[in-house]
Amino acid sequence: MTVAGINTAEPVHKTKGPLRRALDRFFENRAARAGLIILVPVLIAVSTYHLWWPYGPNAIDLKAMNKGPSAAHWLGSDGVGRDVFARLMQGGRISMLVAVCSVAISTVIGFFVGAASSFGGRVVDATAMRFVDLAMTLPPVIFLLVLASIAGTGIAPTILVISLLSWPVLSRMIRARLMELRERDFVIAARGMGAGLPHLLFRHGLPNTIDILVVYATLQIANAILLEAGLSFLGLGIAPPEASWGNMLNLARSTVVLEQYPWQWMFPGAALVLTVLAINFVGDGFRDAFDPRSDLN
């Protein structure tokens, strides 16, 4: 009697849901934990620096021009006496903003193109996928440059350029998943009961592609940070005086800065690589965690 009572009272502890198991797997992954340990402090520092750091990113200290790291300016100062640490934090804020916004936009585009491709019939599918082929064959940087030459510099154009560039790979993955889903019994049943396209897409399509979306979005944020930095490095993304990790690195294209003031470009470079690595670790962790086969290993 009592045994049966316990069993019916607490079935929750016996079987964890798939999401819970995925999270458990994620936190068991050492690399993913390391990624989080790096990423969380970076995010906190970048988003709160204005509360605890005395200098602003564009505040000029004329007594400290091109000075190396010191107690007052932890990471030194640049050619017009701006604090490198403050600019690093502000640059991180801009880089993250650009990355998150562009990934959000490109994820939406990717999902809908993938959906159109798998539900829209042969012609739509063929056109969309040939376009994706083209975009995947050609060097992304080339498209990036062409788009940037039209869109110009600044935060909004940079977001636009990066988001227009990043969706093709995602749309292909979404298409493959939805194609497979379309033939499944529960989708056929839903269709038979008269479900419309929005219901099919958002009630069945979205929950069943959420793993792809999360993994893609995480890894793509790292990619978008790199794209933004690359564009700004070439002088095409975020224009000064606004700070970004890319345009701080751009300073090093002048030989004097490269040779004599390495702190002005090495710190943004290190921040860039560290953040990108951390995000990649977290993204890989998500991918392994969402893969149900990983329990077998």
Partner 1 sequence: MLNFIARRCATGLLMLVALSVLIFILLRLAPGDPIDAYINPSVPMSTSDLETLRDRLGLDQPLPLQYLAWLLAAATGDFGYSIQRSGVLVLPLVMERIGPTALLMGAGLVIAIIVGIATGIYSAVRRNAWPDIAMSVLSFVGISSPAFLTALLGLYFFSVLLRWAPSGGMQTAGAPFSAADVLAHLILPACLLSIGHAALIMRYMRASLLEVLNQDYVRTARAKGVREFWVIIKHATRNALLPVITLIGSTIGIAVGGAIFLESVFNWPGMGLLLVNAVGTRDYPVIMGATLVIGACVILVNILTDVAYAFVDPRIQVS
Tell me which residues touch partner 1 (CB under 8 A): 130-131, 133-134, 137-142, 145-150, 222, 226, 229-230, 233-236, 249, 252-253, 255, 258-259, 262, 265, 269, 272-273, 276-277, 280
CB of 32 to partner 1, least distance (A): 14
Give residue for tokens 């751009």.
250
Number of helices and strands in the chain (H, E):
13, 0
Nearer to partner 1 by Cβ, of 112 and 131: the residue is 131
Q: Is 230 helix (H, G, I), strand (E, B) or coil?
A: helix
Distance, CA of 25 to CA of 295 (rounded, Å) = 8
Q: Which residues share a beta bridge with 83?
A: 77
3-state SS class at 53:
coil
Smaller CB separation from partner 1, 116 or 147: 147
CB of 128 to partner 1, least distance (A): 13
- What's the sign of the alpha-carbon dihedral 229, 231, 234, 237? negative
Q: Least Å distance between CB 262 and partner 1?
A: 7
- Considering the complex, state which of residue 8 and residue 255 has its C-beta at the smaller distance from partner 1: 255
Judged on CB neighbours under 10 Å (0-12, 13-18, 19+), 97 is middle
Residue (of 277, 156, 132, 161) closest to 227 by Cα position:
161
Task: For the CB of residue 233, give the shortest distance to partner 1 in the complex, in Å.
Answer: 5
Instruction: Tell me the two tokens of residue 155.
Output: 């935060």
Task: Provide the minimum distance between the beta carbon of 216 and partner 1 in the complex, in angstroms, as a whole number.
Answer: 17
Question: CB-wise, 201 or 222, nearer to partner 1?
Answer: 222
How far, in Å, CA of 155 to CA of 93, rounded?
12
Q: How far apart are CA 100 and CA 102, in angstroms?
A: 6
Query: In the complex with partner 1, which residue's Cβ is closer, 10 or 259?
Result: 259
Cβ-based nearer residue to partner 1, 22 or 251: 251
Residue written as tokens 């640059």?
A: 91
Residue 218 CB, nearest approach to partner 1 (Å): 14
